Chains A and B, each alone.
Chain A
Amino acid sequence: NAGVTQTPKFQVLKTGQSMTLQCAQDMNHEYMSWYRQDPGMGLRLIHYSVGAGITDQGEVPNGYNVSRSTTEDFPLRLLSAAPSQTSVYFCASSYSRGIETQYFGPGTRLLVL
């Protein structure tokens, strides 16, 4: 198993541009989530999904959209990037229906100019 994979590893955007951060897992996990990590802070939950077709908001959802059309994939979309979205983004998945024993991906470092 490849585990949780994220692409790209690093991205530079200009303010107003859009992009999609990809996340995939091959462990048949139902629960998937997106976090952002800013310097000196812990991870903050953006969105999560408990299964295909089901998504919900986390702590900091504004400016981000998600969808879950398959069990394997959980992309995160930035429709109009802002400098405040400069951060490291982590995707995670769990075999349980919730937050227990989440496996995290390697992260995507995003810089918005």
Chain B
Amino acid sequence: GESVGLHLPTLSVQEGDNSIINCAYSNSASDYFIWYKQESGKGPQFIIDIRSNMDKRQGQRVTVLLNKTVKHLSLQIAATQPGDSAVYFCAENSGGSNYKLTFGKGTLLTVNP
């Protein structure tokens, strides 16, 4: 079946560096994508979202890029801080659904001081 996946299961960066977390999706009908951050023992926390009519969206220290041609999504974190250490998930609205999300498996980001 179609699913959302991640290229890298773990990512280790130095404090102050920029981080890039990647995600591949295969359902071409999906048109809404979300990045979540999950800290140990907590529920996922919304970071940023993007619709398919955009290819880039920026938030505070985060940028999401969407490449529909190759079905690829990325999350860029600027000046990574120790508090950014967490598991990051991408999610897509399953085939364009307004009510169902399909999550990727997650990438563990570790920030070294």
Contacts and interface: CB of A to CB of B under 8 A. Distances in A.
Interface of A: 4, 31, 35, 40-45, 48, 50, 56, 58-59, 90, 92, 97-107
B67 interface: no
B101 interface: yes
Given A50-B99, A97-B98, 19 more contacts: A4-B43, A35-B103, A41-B105, A42-B4, A42-B89, A42-B104, A43-B44, A43-B103, A44-B103, A45-B100, A48-B100, A56-B99, A98-B98, A99-B32, A99-B98, A100-B49, A106-B43, A107-B42, A107-B43
B45 A104 contact: yes
A44 B102 CA distance: 7
A98 B99 contact: yes
Contacts of B4: 42
Residue among A43, A50, A104 with most chain B CB within 10 A? A43
Contacts of B99: 31, 48, 50, 56, 98-99
Interface of B: 4, 32, 34, 41-46, 49, 89, 91, 93-94, 97-106
B101 to A, nearest CB: 5
